[in-house]
C-alpha cells in the first residue's frame, strides 16, 4: 500500500514509518518539525538527540534496504498538503501531525491559539486533500482516550446508544476533555464525522491512551533510529517521566492523590494497532472508532511498579505526591471498552516487571543527559491549587529549576549539577 504518515518525525510517527516500510509498504513521511521547535522554545528537549528526518531515513535505508521518502512541510498549509496527496495518491493516511501536549496548550493565549489552529487546520486540510485528490484513501486519525474524560458510566468505543422518552438513537459518545489540546481532538472527531456522513469518507479514529517505551524492532537497530523520548513536564508522558526520574534518583512526582486511572499501551502495540487499522479499512461513509490501549493503571499503581522494579535493580526510588497542576478528578470510576482492536487481532505487550526493567536499563544508559530542571510541572490550570487567572499559571519556562526548589525536592548532587 502507499502510506502517507503525517507527523512522521514524532515519537509515534517515526517508528510507525519504519514499521510500515519494513513490511513491504511504500511510505512517504511529512513533518514540519513543529515538535522540535516547541521543545526548544520551552526547554523540553528529548533525552536523546535525534538526527533530522533525511538523515534518519538515509541511515535506516543503509541498515535495512527499506526506503522512506521524506517531505518537510506544514500540513496546516493546504497548498502544500494537496500537492503531496495529489502526487502520492495514498491508499491510507496516518494522521499524527498535531500539537499533542496538554500542558503546552494551557500555557496561555499564543500556545492555545497555535494548538487550535494547527490541529484543526491540519485535520481539515487532510479531509479536503483526500476529497479532492484521493477519495478512496482511508484516513487513520489519532484521537485520544482523553476525549472521553472520566465520566461516571462505562466508556463505549466512540458511540453510545441512548434511550430517551421511549425512543432510541446512537450518538458520538459524550466528550469532556480536560485540556484545550484534548478539546481539539474532540473537534477533530466532529469534523471527520461531518465529512464521513456528508461526503462518504472512510475514517478510523483511534482513541489512544498514553504510550510508553522506546523499543521497537527497527528502532533497536541503531540508537540514531530511536524515537524522540521526552521526559519533561510538557511533552513527557507519565510512564516515560517516571522511568527517567527513577534512573536519575529524583522522586517520582505523583500529581495530587494519584488515583487518576488511564488506559496505557506499549509503543510496540501502537505499531500493531496502526497495522491492524490500515489492513482493515472501513467502508465509505463509515466512521470507525476504536479505543487503543491494552491495560489500565492509576498513577499510584504506575509509581509503585516503577519503584518496585527500580529498587530491585539497585536504584533507590522514592515517590512523592505534589500539588496537581491539572484540573482533573483524582479518584473516579473508569471502565472503558477496548475490545475492537483485540477482535481484529491485537496481541498486547503488557507492562510486566521485565518490560519495566528493560525500559529502565535503556534509560539508565543516558542518565548523564537527564536535566532535572525539565521534570517538575511548570504549567498549572488547576484553580483549586491557588491559581486564579483566566489563563494557566506557569513558572518562567527558562527557570524551571526554581520549581524544584519551591517544591523542596532533594535532588542528588549529580542531577543538581546539571541544572
Ligand atoms: N504519545 C502518546 O502517548 C499519544 C497518546 C494519544 C494520542 N496521541 C496522538 O498521536 C499523535 C502523535 O503523537 P506523538 O506523541 O508522536 O507526538 P509528536 O509531537 O512526537 O509527533 C507529532 C509530529 O507531528 C508534527 N507536526 C505537528 N503539526 C504539524 C503540521 N502542521 N505539519 C507537519 N507536521 C506537524 C510534529 O513536528 C511532530 O513531529 C498526536 O496526534 C497525538 O495527539 C499520542
Q: Where are the domains of the chain?
A: 2-229+265-292, 238-259+295-332+349-416
The answer to whether 285 and 200 have CB atoms below 8 angstroms apart is yes
For 238-272, the pLDDT digits (tens) are 999 999 999 999 999 999 999 999 999 999 999 99
Q: Can you give the pLDDT at residue 412?
A: 36
Output the CA 397–ligand 1 centroid distance in Å. 21
For 341-400, the pLDDT digits (tens) are 999 999 999 999 999 999 999 999 999 999 988 888 999 998 765 443 445 556 555 433
Can you list the residues of the chain whose pLDDT is less than 70? 384-419
Domain 2-229+265-292 has CATH 3.40.50.720: yes
At which residue does the C-alpha cell 496527496 appear?
Answer: 85
The answer to whether 203 and 288 have CB atoms below 8 angstroms apart is yes
Q: Can you give the pLDDT at residue 174?
A: 80
User: What count of other Cβ atoms lies within 10 Å of the Cβ of residue 413?
Assistant: 7
Nearest CA to ligand 1 atom 23: 7
At which residue does the C-alpha cell 478512496 appear?
Answer: 136
Q: Can you give the pLDDT at residue 401?
A: 38
Output the CA 99–ligand 1 centroid distance in Å. 6
Output the CA 207–ligand 1 centroid distance in Å. 14
Alpha-carbon 374 to chain mean position: 18
CB of 76 sitting under 6 A from ligand 1: yes
The C-alpha angle with vertex 198 and arms to 193 and 199, in degrees rounded to 5, equals 100
Q: Can you give the pLDDT at residue 394?
A: 62
Q: Can you give the pLDDT at residue 373?
A: 86
Of 239, 240, 245, 215, give the one whose Cα is nearest residue 227: 215
Q: Could you tell me what percentage of the chain is helix, strand and coil, using 3-state DSSP and rounding each to the nearest 5?
A: 40, 20, 40
> Cα separations (Å) of 367 from 10, 219, 308?
22, 19, 19
Q: What is the pTM of this model?
A: 0.93
CATH superfamily of 238-259+295-332+349-416: UDP-galactose 4-epimerase, domain 1 (3.90.25.10)
Q: Which helix (H) or strand (E) holds 248?
A: helix 238-248
- Mutate which of 35, 184, 274, 338 for ligand 1? The one with the most ligand atoms within 8 Å of its CB, which is 35
Distance CA 378, CA 391 (A): 13
Output the CA 6–ligand 1 centroid distance in Å. 9
CB of 122 sitting under 6 A from ligand 1: yes
Nearest CA to ligand 1 atom 42: 100
Distance CA 46, CA 36 (A): 9
Cell numbers placing 302: 504506575
Alpha-carbon torsion angle 13, 14, 20, 24, nearest 10: 150
Alpha-carbon 162 to chain mean position: 31
* Catalytic center residues: 144, 181, 185
CB of 96 sitting under 6 A from ligand 1: yes
Nearest CA to ligand 1 atom 7: 144
Amino acid at each position: 500500500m502507499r502510506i502517507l504518515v503525517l507527523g512522521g518525525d514524532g515519537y509515534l510517527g517515526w517508528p510507525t514509518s519504519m514499521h510500515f516500510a519494513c513490511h513491504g509498504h511504500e511510505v512517504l513521511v511529512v513533518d514540519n518539525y513543529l515538535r522540535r521547535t516547541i521543545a526548544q522554545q520551552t526547554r523540553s528537549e528529548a533525552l536523546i538527540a535525534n538526527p533530522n528526518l533525511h538523515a534518519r531515513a538515509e541511515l535506516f535505508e543503509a541498515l535495512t534496504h527499506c526506503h522512506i521518502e521524506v517531505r518537510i512541510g506544514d500540513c496546516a498549509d493546504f497548498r502544500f498538503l494537496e500537492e503531496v496527496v495529489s502526487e502520492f495518491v495514498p491508499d491510507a493516511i496516518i494522521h499524527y501531525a498535531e500539537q499533542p501536549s496538554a500542558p503546552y496548550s494551557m500555557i496561555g493565549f499564543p500556545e492555545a491559539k497555535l494548538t487550535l489552529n494547527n490541529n484543526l487546520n491540519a485535520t481539515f486540510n487532510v479531509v479536503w486533500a483526500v476529497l479532492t485528490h484521493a477519495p478512496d484513501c482511508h484516513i487513520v486519525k489519532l484521537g485520544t482516550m482523553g476525549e472521553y474524560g472520566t465520566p461516571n458510566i462505562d466508556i463505549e468505543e466512540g458511540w453510545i446508544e441512548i434511550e430517551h422518552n421511549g425512543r432510541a438513537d446512537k450518538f458520538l459518545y459524550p466528550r469532556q476533555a480536560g485540556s484545550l489540546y484534548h478539546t481539539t481532538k474532540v473537534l477533530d472527531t466532529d469534523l471527520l464525522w461531518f465529512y464521513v456522513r456528508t461526503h462518504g469518507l472512510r475514517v478510523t479514529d483511534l482513541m489512544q491512551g498514553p504510550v510508553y517505551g522506546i523499543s521497537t524492532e527497527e528502532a533497536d537497530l541503531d540508537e540514531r533510529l530511536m524515537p524522540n523520548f521526552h521526559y519533561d513536564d510538557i511533552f513527557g508522558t507519565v510512564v516515560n517521566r517516571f522511568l527517567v526520574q527513577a534512573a536519575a534518583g529524583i522522586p517520582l512526582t505523583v500529581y495530587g492523590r494519584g488515583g487518576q486511572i488511564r488506559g496505557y499501551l506499549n509503543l510496540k502495540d501502537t505499531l500493531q494497532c496502526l497495522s491492524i487499522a490500515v489492513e482493515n479499512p472501513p467502508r465509505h461513509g463509515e466512521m470507525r472508532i476504536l479505543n487503543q490501549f491494552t491495560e489500565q493503571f492509576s498513577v499510584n499503581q504506575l509509581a509503585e511498579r516503577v519503584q518496585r522494579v527500580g529498587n530491585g535493580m539497585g536504584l533507590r526510588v522514592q515517590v512523592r505526591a505534589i500539588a496537581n497542576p491539572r484540573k482533573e478528578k483524582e479518584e473516579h470510576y473508569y471502565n472503558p471498552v477496548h475490545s475492537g482492536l483485540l477482535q481484529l487481532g491485537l496481541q498486547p505487550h503488557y507492562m510486566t516487571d521485565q518490560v519495566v526493567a528493560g525500559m529502565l536499563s535503556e534509560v539508565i544508559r543516558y542518565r548523564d543527559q537527564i536535566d532535572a530542571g525539565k521534570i517538575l510541572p511548570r504549567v498549572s490550570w488547576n484553580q483549586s491549587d491557588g491559581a486564579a487567572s483566566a489563563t494557566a499559571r506557569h513558572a518562567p519556562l527558562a527557570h524551571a529549576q526554581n520549581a524544584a526548589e519551591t517544591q523542596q525536592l532533594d535532588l542528588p548532587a549529580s542531577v543538581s549539577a546539571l541544572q
